[in-house]
Amino acid sequence: MSTVVREQHGLRTGTMAQALNLALRDAMHADKTVHVLGEDVGALGGVFRITDGLTAEFGSDRCLDTPLAEAGILGTAVGMAMYGLRPVVEMQFDAFAYPAMEQLFSHVAKMRNRTAGKLPLPITVRIPYGGGIGGVEHHSDASEAYYAHTPGLHVVTPGTVADAYGLLREAIASDDPVVFLEPKRLYWGKAEWDPAAAVAPIGKAVLRRPGTSAVLVTYGPSLPVCLEAAEAAKAEGWDLAVLDLRSLVPFDEATACEVVRSLGRAVVVHEAAGFGGAGAEIAARLTEKCFHHLAAPVLRVTGFDIPYPPPMLEHHHLPGVDRILDAVARLQWEE
Amino acid sequence: MTVLDHRNQPAEADTVPGWRPGATAPRTDPAPLLPDAEPHRVLGTPAADAADPELLRELYRRLVAGRRYNQQATTLTKQGRLAVYPASTGQEGCQVAAALALRPQDWLFPSYRDTLAVVARGVDPLQALTLLRGDAHTGYDPRATRTAPLCTPLATQVPHAVGLAHAARLAGDDTVALALLGDGGTSEGDFHEGLNFAAVLHAPVVFLVQNNGYAISVPLTRQSAAPTLAHKAVGYGMPGRLVDGNDALAVHQVLTEAVERARSGGGPTLVEALTYRIEAHTNADDATRYRQAEEVEAWQQHDPVRLLEDALRGRGLLDEQLVAGAAEQAEQLAARMRAEFHADPEPDPMSLFAHVYAEPTQQLREQADRLAAELAAEAEVQGR
């Protein structure tokens, strides 16, 4: 992995969208091989403005407005990466990435392996993902399990503004392909952060809140929900820890197991459908590795096993504080 | 000014006012992009007399060796030495001539039937077969000969070629990419997206469709309703060329022209080569279920090796030395294939974990340890 050069910007207050934009700008300044491409990333600056100003600053060769075709965008990025560039691809919305799945699964994920390391593909695939913004059909899918199930891909998702900047810089610098899932509903949340401050690398989970009773294991869009639930749980006598995985692949088993073993109780929280979801993998793994330390089964709080609902109903689907607290109550396991 | 600030020069401006997006911009005349009504042919015509004798000899030697390679590889599948082999018998002219139209700095993006093109790029003939033998996904270093891995999904290599050509152009290099695919591949979305990107990006890339009549069992009439596959080029705004794919010299001429046009900034070209797959799709296919023997026989009368032989003979170039030398080279290659593939390969089981990520994950390290322990236990049992 190449070293990430962090520019000195100083402490600032900003949104996750601004942090991502700065990460792209800084990465393009630091490394001339970084090229951004996607539909609407140029003059418009992306529908979420994550690529705002990049074409003006770096030119249309470095930030390229492409024809509207996701397989073509990602397939073109494969060839660019084969020639030595570091493409950063924008998929406009989570469900719009599906036409590019074949390129992602059959080529991006496998090229290093099938060429015995001769053609690594340092591609970052940015995907605005998840619900909670009132998007209509095809604009709110939580698709992380598809990517996490495909060997050869890294799958990361930031839950804080600082992490959005740091993780994206790490993703672009990574010599492996990274699926970078951007929680849409966190785009506009402001926080104070310092781009020059180091963040944990890809593959390292971070304990966002210590606790003594149980741990909520989560990532991306569900992180603020879990932190809120942990605060609310105090009234019921629970002191909940919150572990932010940040990266599903690689999965930081060591940190997760350490926390779960010390507390004995864990709830995995994500908004994607539960069946065959990332939570199923995490719960199974924690149970296998920490069985004798568990005072209760590892529980899951997830979205329902339904196609993403219409916006008027999505609040019933997305795990909220109450549903998490309900699961925490069930951790008071009695035979 | 960036590389992408370019405009295709239209043949003439559209002076007719009317409603359409960008109505003030000149409309491109499609006529110069249209393929000729008849496929381009050289062998058997007076034009063949002007061809470089050494090029003709080189094509001949490679076609003879390629024919033998196809035969031997097919035999190896019957002996269980190759998992599968999609023979290119009858299409040797396309593959060899296409690869020879490239320069060393160019990149080839082959599909699974294009082993002869891969070999013509300089890949070791046996390394080109490891995928089909089943011991490695790609047996050669793609960078060494600028030859991408044999691509199994249809047409997905097309955008790769476009992206590489685009990147090369941005770098200021005079590199061209050539993507090979079959008639079936032109129905895939990635073919469309790749050609559209190539034209919009004005990328130095050439697409060669080897139209061999069938996508496994589905004939061209059920594959496409276009007048020819070369006509598809016009819809993307690039020239389409139609060539007799069994005329190796014609393919070489058309491809060389398209490659050099791309190299000099002229943008992409779509070439359709009309050819025929004499053998079945692979050794696992039964071609008698979907095509008639008369059709195969008719194409055998238009064989690429014989067409070239006739041309060489016509110019007095087919001497005993050339014939014997080509046959000898072909037999040596076949003998080497038999010898090499007689032994079962012994790939290292631990290589399974070697190149999944730049750094293996904790989970992969644990799985590698588990496999190593299993292998050690196995070795211990066998050692007793």
DSSP A277-317: SHHHHHHHHHHHHHGGG-SSPPEEEEE-SSSPPPGGGHHHH
Whole-model pTM?
0.94
Alpha-carbon gap: A192 to the closest alpha carbon of chain B (Å):
32
Best A35, A63, A83, A251 residue to mutate vs chain B (most B CBs within 10 Å): A83
Helix axes B248-263, B53-78, angle to 10 degrees: 110
Which ipTM score applies to this complex?
0.94
**Cβ atoms within 10 Å of B80's Cβ, excluding its own:** 9
Task: Supply the pLDDT for residue B25.
Answer: 64
> Which residue matches tokens 């529908």?
A47
Beta carbons within 8 Å of B210's beta carbon, 6+ residues apart: B91, B94, B95, B113, B180, B181, B182, B183, B245, B273, B275
Task: Supply the pLDDT for residue A6.
Answer: 61
Percent of chain A with pLDDT over 70: 97
Task: Supply the pLDDT for residue B248.
Answer: 98
Q: Is the pLDDT of residue A1 over 50?
A: no
Q: What is the mean pLDDT of residues B146-151?
A: 97
pLDDT tens for residues A83-124?
A: 999 999 999 999 999 999 999 999 999 999 999 999 999 999
Q: Write out the two tokens for A288.
A: 């296998």
pLDDT tens for residues B335-360?
A: 999 999 888 778 899 999 999 999 99
Which residues in A lie closer than 8 A to residue B2 (C-beta atoms)? Answer: 59-61
Which residues in A lie closer than 8 A to residue B190 (C-beta atoms)? Answer: 71-72, 75, 102-103
Q: Please tell me the distance from the alpha carbon of residue B6 to that of residue B26, in angstroms, as a whole number.
A: 14
Alpha-carbon gap: B170 to the closest alpha carbon of chain A (Å):
7
Report the side by side order of strands in the sheet with A154-156. Answer: A63-65, A34-38, A86-90, A124-129, A178-183, A154-156, A247-249
Asked if A78 lies within 8 A of B163 by C-beta distance, the reply is: yes
Nearest CA in chain B to A202: B361
Given the residues A35, A139, A154, A317, the one annotated as active site = A139
Sign, CA torsion A305/A306/A310/A316:
negative
* B111–chain A Cβ distance below 8 A for any pair: no
Which residues in B lie closer than 8 A to residue A78 (C-beta atoms)? Answer: 159-160, 163
DSSP A84-115: T-EEEEE-SSGGGGGGGHHIIIIIITTHHHHT
* Residues of B forming the active site: 277, 281, 290
Asked if B2 lies within 8 A of A99 by C-beta distance, the reply is: no
Asked if B196 lies within 8 A of A152 by C-beta distance, the reply is: no
Alpha-carbon gap: B103 to the closest alpha carbon of chain A (Å):
16
Alpha-carbon gap: A240 to the closest alpha carbon of chain B (Å):
27
Distance of CA B24 to the CA centre of its chain: 41
